[in-house]
Chain A
């Protein structure tokens, strides 16, 4: 009996003391924040879907690894643009196959582009990038036509020039998918139709990895594509497993216990923890996010530019960064643009902290002190550009009150209507932010201050209107339209500088912080090239 008990204890101890964590050598276990929500490329819009899509699909043109603006060939080995910026001819790589064995050629490319242009109605509710870049469907799309020239060449004609068109084509949403797989798995029937099992069973691209398994809520697995066409850039890993761990503290615990090899979106207060752990390494992305206060000029007293100036002068951005973005998690922002963008100009806004000027501006406004305003912040959320919304709110509230404002705090859950109400222009002053997809003003201010006739909540505007900020200055709209259409890079940079001057003179918002994000990984993960856009290629990653 005694021996049996001793044996049992020995077995249990052996079992327990087995190294916890991933043991297979060439498999990378990645602690992600959630499951992907789709892998039908054109519908991908959340970071976790794009993270996986970036590995199994490829676009015609790509952002160079680590860059937010430099383009390199992808499935198109070269391209020509007409002088008027309307016609793009893509010369495709040859000998490329989708992972279902079918050919990638001009026919497949034309099929994909036509699908973007004529996105089935059942898919339109899930669409973001297609409508954002091309502006509409069918005849309303920026894509006028797409035609095959020969097996390895096709041509896209736009209705109007769009200077960031090629950069936008590097977005993972505009990846090439196998027409055969899309049709066989009813991808066009929409996400609410059970017969559409494309992305959960057979997402098919040409990338260095291919789909292997999806267990909802547990993991998503991709494996090396052994037939990848670009041998020089073939995947070094055999398998990547994405394990969803929603809570950032739990992700860190999983990393430290060896349950996963890598985690993303490390909290600012966890950075030193990782830096000080000899078994871990911290990989930091350059900033490409902007945390800002949106101001809606259609709500009083924010219609008065002096009130907006007073708010901007009253906020000490460096103090906010020092307190809420420690360890280099953020930088004080003085523009909606980032310093890495050519159109950025230092101190272009009313951004210097100056309490005297703030008080003077408020005194000169239609709402002298004590000026009562509602100030909104979101609950139950942490974003790279807004790590502690309530804490930041309290700090800024104190600053604004020192300048003569009387604040009524307002808050709502981020997913409980905050983003909807904010977008519909219901908040006068509110926290919000943006994660750039690529370093181009068209993907920031070009969206923040765009106008349309869409309803703002229940209100239908009588003319093109900006719901969120009510920035309806016709000069701003004209300057942005000119910049967005200008094909010459140098002229375009100047156009954006001009547009930003107008936007800044209006004090259309209050930029607060430029933020990046960080990953934590065990030291045996090598070859990871961080990108400011958060959309890295994992073919270069290996374990040593």
Chain B
């Protein structure tokens, strides 16, 4: 197992190197550069030339790439050309926001999706099963931006129950000090303020529901089919014949075996969401990595896009590695060598 993990981690090096090379080539093939975005109406040939010189964009591409990689090897991922904040600072500020949103969305997806899928499988072709199937189809099909706007209008503008932007009530609370940017953790464990914690939760509800809907539907559908497949296995019939209780059969035999495909989907969905939920973060003005990278792409902020992609690719590979290791725990027959 250890050898497997080490090999996967070593594989990261050529993956990241290739990715960095691809990124730098493709980004510079696209029209425009950050100077046009920065200067806007103020663009004049002289202003553009001075800006490009300041950012080193007037150097040959290979030199820009080598300078960039030299920085990366020394732990310096560069500074945004547009907002002038270092990539490391921005990432460390924003990634906790994305993690909180992702974990909340996945908790909703798993917490509702798995029971829904199991219940649907156990009542195959019943009214409930049909309802769950239709609901999950709608969940997969509904565009996030539409759902997000709908939730904002109903719960924010109409009912005034929930806030529509940001991570907490900026006027009422302050998170200066601890600086982890994990606000649920800070409010509860460091600040010991239940009111603050509740406020953070209130801000999380709408974006987490919007973001969690598609994974929820996917998890529910996969769970249903996985459970159905396991239910028809000989060892389940044997267990019934042995007189085991339904609960024991479900817990020990059905769910555990069905968890393999489900955990794959959960891992993939989590990895994708950690890469930034662009639409959700944009709609709810959630200061996460998705919002950040989207804006960087619009602004042609090369350094942010390149470094963000490298960091996120690393995280995606590591999350999948964790899922693979999780397989071995769930199914002792799986052995990596």
Q: Does B16 contact A (CB under 8 A)?
A: no
The interface centre, meaning the residue of B52, B76, B165, B291 with most chain A CB atoms within 10 A of its CB, is B165
Contact of B285 (CB < 8 Å), options: A17, A200, A221, A245: A245
> Is there contact, CB below 8 Å, between B163 and A259?
yes
Q: Does A526 contact B (CB under 8 A)?
A: no
Closest approach, in angstroms, between the C-beta of A403 and any C-beta of chain B? 28
Q: Which residue of B lies closest to A461 (CB)?
A: B45
> Is there contact, CB below 8 Å, between B170 and A29?
yes
Q: Does A540 contact B (CB under 8 A)?
A: no
> Please, what's the 1-or-0 string for B10-43, where 1 marks a CB less than 8 Å from any CB in chain A?
0000000000000000000011110111111111
Closest approach, in angstroms, between the C-beta of B24 and any C-beta of chain A? 17
Q: List 30 A-B contacts (CB under 8 A).
A: A18-B202, A19-B160, A27-B171, A31-B165, A37-B84, A122-B54, A125-B55, A190-B54, A192-B78, A199-B84, A200-B89, A217-B288, A245-B165, A245-B285, A250-B164, A253-B152, A254-B164, A254-B165, A259-B164, A412-B31, A413-B31, A414-B40, A415-B36, A416-B36, A417-B33, A418-B36, A419-B43, A420-B33, A432-B41, A456-B45
Quick check: which of A126-134, A203-211, A473-481, A496-504 contacts chain B, the rest being far away? A126-134
Q: Does B298 contact A (CB under 8 A)?
A: yes
Q: Complex: how many Å from CA A456 to CA B47? A: 11
Provide the residues of chain B in CB contact with A432, threshold 8 Å: 41
Q: Does B237 contact A (CB under 8 A)?
A: no
Q: Complex: how many Å from CA A193 to CA B76? A: 10
Q: Does A91 contact B (CB under 8 A)?
A: no
> Is there contact, CB below 8 Å, between B282 and A247?
yes
> Is there contact, CB below 8 Å, between A217 and B287?
yes
Provide the residues of chain A in CB contact with B39, threshold 8 Å: 45, 128, 419, 423
Closest approach, in angstroms, between the C-beta of B288 and any C-beta of chain A? 8
> Please, what's the 1-or-0 string for B74-99, where 1 marks a CB less than 8 Å from any CB in chain A?
00101100111110011001100100
Q: Complex: how many Å from CA A422 to CA B36? A: 10
Contact of A415 (CB < 8 Å), options: B97, B202, B298: B298
Across the A-B interface, the 8 shortest Cβ-Cβ residue pairs: A125-B54, A22-B171, A217-B287, A257-B156, A417-B32, A417-B31, A218-B287, A423-B43
> Please, what's the 1-or-0 string for B54-86, where 1 marks a CB less than 8 Å from any CB in chain A?
110000000000000000000010110011111
> Is there contact, CB below 8 Å, between B97 and A218?
yes
Provide the residues of chain A in CB contact with B90, threshold 8 Å: 216-217
Q: Which residue of A lies closest to B91 (CB)?
A: A216
Q: Does A241 contact B (CB under 8 A)?
A: yes
Provide the residues of chain B in CB contact with A122, threshold 8 Å: 54
> Is there contact, CB below 8 Å, between B295 and A20?
no
Provide the residues of chain B in CB contact with A394, threshold 8 Å: none
Q: Does A191 contact B (CB under 8 A)?
A: yes
Q: Complex: how many Å from CA A216 to CA B292? A: 10
Contact of A416 (CB < 8 Å), options: B31, B83, B86: B31
Q: Complex: how many Å from CA A155 to CA B214? A: 66
Q: Complex: how many Å from CA A539 to CA B171? A: 18
Closest approach, in angstroms, between the C-beta of B57 and any C-beta of chain A? 9
> Please, what's the 1-or-0 string for A17-46, where 1 marks a CB less than 8 Å from any CB in chain B?
111111110010101001101100000011
**A23-B32 in contact given A419-B39, A424-B45 (Cβ < 8 Å):** no
Provide the residues of chain B in CB contact with A221, threshold 8 Å: 170
Contact of A253 (CB < 8 Å), options: B94, B153, B167, B298: B153
Contact of B42 (CB < 8 Å), options: A128, A217, A247, A380: A128
The interface centre, meaning the residue of A190, A239, A250, A457 with most chain B CB atoms within 10 A of its CB, is A250
Cβ < 8 Å to B, chain A residues 93-134: 122, 124-128, 131-132
> Is there contact, CB below 8 Å, between A434 and B41?
yes
Provide the residues of chain A in CB contact with B53, threshold 8 Å: 124-125
> Is there contact, CB below 8 Å, between A422 and B165?
no
Q: Does A505 contact B (CB under 8 A)?
A: no
Chain A interface (Cβ < 8 Å from any Cβ of B): 15-24, 27, 29, 31, 34-35, 37-38, 45-46, 122, 124-128, 131-132, 190-194, 199-200, 212-213, 215-219, 221, 239, 241, 243-247, 250, 253-254, 256-260, 380, 383, 412-420, 422-424, 432-435, 447, 452, 454-457, 467-468
Q: Complex: how many Å from CA A36 to CA B37? A: 14
Q: Which residue of B lies closest to A455 (CB)?
A: B45
Contact of B41 (CB < 8 Å), options: A20, A192, A419: A419
> Is there contact, CB below 8 Å, between A217 and B94?
yes
Provide the residues of chain A in CB contact with B153, threshold 8 Å: 253
Closest approach, in angstroms, between the C-beta of B4 and any C-beta of chain A? 37
Cβ < 8 Å to A, chain B residues 286-305: 287-288, 291-292, 295, 298-300
> Is there contact, CB below 8 Å, between A16 and B79?
no
Closest approach, in angstroms, between the C-beta of A344 and any C-beta of chain B? 21
Contact of A131 (CB < 8 Å), options: B47, B170, B287, B288: B47
Q: Complex: how many Å from CA A239 to CA B152? A: 27
The interface centre, meaning the residue of A17, A193, A218, A432 with most chain B CB atoms within 10 A of its CB, is A218
> Please, what's the 1-or-0 string for B198-231, where 1 marks a CB less than 8 Å from any CB in chain A?
1001100000000000000000000000000000
**A420-B36 in contact given A16-B162, A254-B164 (Cβ < 8 Å):** yes
Chain B interface (Cβ < 8 Å from any Cβ of A): 30-33, 35-55, 76, 78-79, 82-86, 89-90, 93-94, 97, 149, 152-153, 156-157, 160-167, 169-172, 174, 176, 181, 198, 201-202, 282-283, 285, 287-288, 291-292, 295, 298-300
Q: Complex: how many Å from CA A81 to CA B146? A: 60
Provide the residues of chain B in CB contact with A190, threshold 8 Å: 54
Closest approach, in angstroms, between the C-beta of A46 and any C-beta of chain B? 8
Q: Complex: how many Å from CA A31 to CA B45? A: 33
Contact of B83 (CB < 8 Å), options: A216, A246, A435: A216
Contact of A15 (CB < 8 Å), options: B52, B79, B198: B198
Q: Which residue of A lies closest to B177 (CB)?
A: A213
Q: Complex: how many Å from CA A535 to CA B45? A: 27
**A380-B31 in contact given A35-B83, A218-B166, A417-B36 (Cβ < 8 Å):** no
> Is there contact, CB below 8 Å, between B156 and A415?
no
Closest approach, in angstroms, between the C-beta of B159 and any C-beta of chain A? 8
Q: Which residue of A lies closest to B35 (CB)?
A: A420
Closest approach, in angstroms, between the C-beta of B299 and any C-beta of chain A? 6
**A457-B45 in contact given A22-B172, A35-B83, A257-B160 (Cβ < 8 Å):** yes
Closest approach, in angstroms, between the C-beta of A461 and any C-beta of chain B? 9
Q: Which residue of A lies closest to B173 (CB)?
A: A24
> Is there contact, CB below 8 Å, between A200 and B85?
yes
**A243-B166 in contact given A215-B93, A216-B83, A420-B43 (Cβ < 8 Å):** yes
Q: Complex: how many Å from CA A448 to CA B55? A: 25
> Is there contact, CB below 8 Å, between B38 and A37?
yes
> Is there contact, CB below 8 Å, between A241 and B171?
yes
Q: Which residue of A lies closest to B289 (CB)?
A: A217
**A216-B287 in contact given A124-B54, A416-B32, A432-B41 (Cβ < 8 Å):** yes
**A253-B164 in contact given A200-B85, A213-B176, A420-B35 (Cβ < 8 Å):** yes
A-B contacts besides A457-B45, A467-B44, 15 pairs, CB < 8 Å: A24-B171, A128-B39, A192-B79, A199-B84, A212-B176, A218-B166, A253-B164, A258-B163, A259-B163, A417-B31, A417-B32, A419-B39, A420-B32, A423-B39, A424-B48
Provide the residues of chain B in CB contact with A216, threshold 8 Å: 83, 85, 89-90, 93-94, 287
Provide the residues of chain A in CB contact with B82, threshold 8 Å: 37
Q: Which residue of B lies closest to A456 (CB)?
A: B45
> Is there contact, CB below 8 Å, between B156 and A259?
yes
Q: Complex: how many Å from CA A22 to CA B170? A: 7
> Is there contact, CB below 8 Å, between B93 and A217?
yes
Provide the residues of chain A in CB contact with B198, threshold 8 Å: 15, 18
